[in-house]
Amino acid sequence: MNISIESMRDADVPARLFEAALNQTSLLKAVLPDDIESQRERFVRDMRQGSPRSPVFTYPETDAARVEPLRQIVDEYGAHDEPLIRLIADEASKHLARFQACVSHEAERMTQALSDENGVPDEELLAEALEILRERKERTPPGEEQRFSAADVLKAVEKTLAAEGLTDWKPQIHPEMAARMSVRSGNRSVNIRADLRLGENELVGLVTHEIGTHVFRWENAHRVADVLCVRLSGATATEEGLAVWNEQRATGGKSLDPRFALRVVAVHTALRGSFVDVVHALLPFVPVEAAFDVATRVKRGLVDTAEPGGFVKDHVYLAGYRMVREHLDRNPDEHDLLMAGKWPLNRLSLLRDADVVSELGDDIRRPDERFIERARDLVRDISMAR
C-alpha cells in the first residue's frame, strides 16, 4: 500500500467515525468489574486464613446499540476503492468481534479474541520475565519512599499538561481501576487510580509513560491526519513497548519495572489456570495485595475467574518493550517516526514513505531530556510544597 499525507487526510471522515465508535465500545470498560474493592478485601482475608477462592465478578449491563456505529463503518466502507479506508473498515470489524467477545464474559471466546490480537507469551519471554523477578528479589534494593498520593499525582499530571500547552486534556482520580494510570484519547482524559502511591522516580517515569508517550503520540498523529490516531491491530505492543522504553530512559534505565515481568507470569498462568493459581505464581515476588491487583488485570472480563483464560494482553508491555528496543537499537534515528503516529511497528514503513516526521517538523512532541527534566522539577516542586 502506497500512501501520502493527502491520502491519509482523505480517510479522516471514516477515521473519526471509527474513533467515536471505539469510545462507545471500550474494551477496558467492558471488562471492568463493578466490585473490585470488595473482592480485594475478601480475597486478601481468605488468603491469610488459608482458604482463597477465585472471585466471581459482576459487570454492568451493556447496551447492544453501542456496536451499531461499528457495523455501519463495516457496511459503508468495507468495499471502498481506497485501501486505507478499507483498512479502517477491516479494523472496525476486528474490534467489533473483540468487543462482543469481551461483553459475553465467556472465558474461551474472550481468551481467543485477545490472543488473536496480542499473541501469547512464548517460553523465551516467560524466562526473561522470571529472570527479571529473580534478580530483583536477590538484590532486594531498598524501596523508594512512596510519598506521593493520588492527589499529588493529579497535580503533577495537571502541571505537566499545562507546561506542554495541553490544557484540553483533563486528569481525574478514578475510584476503581486495575491500572495505576490510563489515557483515554477519545475524551482527552487521564485517569489516576485513587489508592495510588508512588516514589519520585516512579512518578517521573509514569508521567513519561502516560503523557510523554500515549498523549504525545496521539497529539502528533492528530496534527497530521486523524487516520494516524486509529488503533490498528497489533498497535498495543508498539504503544506500550515504546512507553516502557521512554519510561526506562526517564528513570535512568537502572532496571526494568518488575510489574511488566509480573504481568507476563500472570498471563502465562491465567491461560492455564485460575485466579488463585495466578496469585500463587506471583506470591514469591510480591505481597498478596499486589498479586491480587495483577491477577485482576488478566482475569477481568470473566465472571467466574476460576476458569482458565481471561483478558490476556498484559504480556505486551515486556514483549513490546523488547520489540521496540530491538528496533531502535537497529534504527536509532526512528524514535521520532515512532512518536509521529499511533500505528504499530509493522506499519512503520508507510509512515516513513509518507515522510510524516517532516510534516510535523520541529514541533513534534517527544519525551526528550527537556521534557523529562521539567517533569522531574515539577515533581520536586510538589514534594517541597507538601
Neighbours of 213 (CB within 10 A): 27
Q: Which residues of the chain have pLDDT under 70?
A: 139-144, 178, 254-255, 386
For the chain, give me the number of helices (H) and strands (E)? 20, 3
The pTM assigned to this predicted structure is: 0.88
User: Nearest Cα to 319, choosing from 136, 112, 121, 117?
Assistant: 121
Q: At what angle do helices 123-139 and 316-330 cross, to 10 degrees?
A: 100
Greatest Cα-to-Cα distance within the chain, rounded to the nearest angstrom: 64
What is d(CA 316, CA 244) in angstroms, rounded to the nearest whole number? Answer: 10
For the record, the C-alpha cell of 12 comes out as 479522516
- What is the model's pLDDT at position 90? 96
Domain positions in the chain? 118-385
Predicted confidence (pLDDT) per residue in 271-317, tens digit? 999 999 999 999 999 999 999 999 999 999 999 999 999 999 999 99
Evaluate whether 130 touches 265 at the Cβ level (below 8 Å). Answer: yes
How does 220-246 read in b/e, with b if 16+ C-beta sit within 10 Å? bbebbbbbbbbbbbbbbbbbbbbbbbb
- What is the model's pLDDT at position 18? 95
- What is the model's pLDDT at position 383? 85
